[in-house]
């Protein structure tokens, strides 16, 4: 990940905050469901980040402890505008959830007993499944490349589906290790190896 960031004005930071506020307020299902919208806004619409780079940021956000939405917003905000961008993006993504959960907490028992709320939550769960599938489809071209990429994708999917007791951390670490070993930048005489 390139650590260079350009100097941001307060208006730029406000823009980052408002983009993340909209994403946080309109996306249901947590961090995975936010990924397509973040990618669309930051890569396609505003061109603040390259597609390959945002895929790497999402991979880091998923493999570090904490909430994926917050991790991703921190990393994306930092990449765009340094520490100030990380703070603006994080506040934007967290604020809608904080407000909604504060209101829900007050009327928690009434929500649990309301059949309309329960029906709406069932519908939201189905929509989240569609959003997660959309995430896979959208990020696949930048993430799964070549024979090794497809093999790793298939192996990770098989382990996740048929061995659900395996912690996702082990799948991520295994994929990272295989990717590292397949690159072999330390191989003698390889041109373009990082210095």
- pLDDT tens for each residue of 50-79: 887 888 888 888 777 778 888 888 888 898
> Is 84 among the domain residues?
yes
Structure-block tokens of residue 148: 């090794």
Please give the tally of structural domains in the chain: 2
Taking only the tens of pLDDT, the chain with its 195 residues reads 444 445 566 678 899 999 999 988 887 766 777 777 888 888 888 888 888 788 888 888 877 777 888 888 888 889 888 899 999 999 999 998 888 888 878 777 777 777 887 888 788 777 777 777 776 777 777 677 778 888 888 888 888 888 888 887 888 788 888 877 877 554 545 454 444
Instruction: Tell me, yes or no, whether 121 and 153 share the same domain.
Output: no
Q: Is residue 137 domain-shared with residue 149, that is, in the same domain?
A: no
In a domain, 23, yes or no: yes
Q: Which of 63, 38, 49 has the alpha carbon at shortest distance from 172?
A: 63
Which 8-state DSSP code applies to residue 165?
T
Q: Domain of 113?
A: 10-143
Average pLDDT over the chain reads 79
Same structural domain, 135 and 168: no
């Amino acid at each position: 990940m390139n650590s260079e960031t350009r100097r941001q004005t307060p208006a730029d930071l406000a823009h980052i905050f408002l983009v993340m506020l909209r994403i946080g307020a309109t996306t249901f299902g947590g961090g995975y469901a936010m990924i397509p919208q973040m990618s669309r806004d930051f890569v396609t619409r505003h061109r603040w980040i390259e597609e390959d780079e945002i895929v790497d940021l999402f991979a880091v956000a998923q493999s570090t402890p904490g909430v994926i939405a917050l991790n991703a917003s921190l990393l994306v905000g930092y990449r765009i505008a340094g520490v100030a961008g990380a703070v603006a993006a994080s506040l934007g993504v967290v604020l809608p959830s904080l407000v909604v959960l504060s209101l829900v907490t007050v009327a928690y028992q009434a929500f649990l007993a309301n059949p309309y709320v329960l029906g709406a939550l069932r519908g939201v769960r189905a929509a989240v499944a569609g959003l997660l599938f959309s995430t896979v489809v959208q990020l696949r071209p930048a993430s799964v490349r070549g024979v090794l990429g497809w093999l790793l994708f298939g192996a990770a999917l098989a382990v996740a589906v048929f061995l659900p007791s395996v912690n996702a951390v082990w799948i991520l670490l295994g994929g990272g290790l295989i990717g590292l070993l397949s690159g072999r930048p330390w191989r003698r005489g390889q041109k373009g190896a990082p210095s």
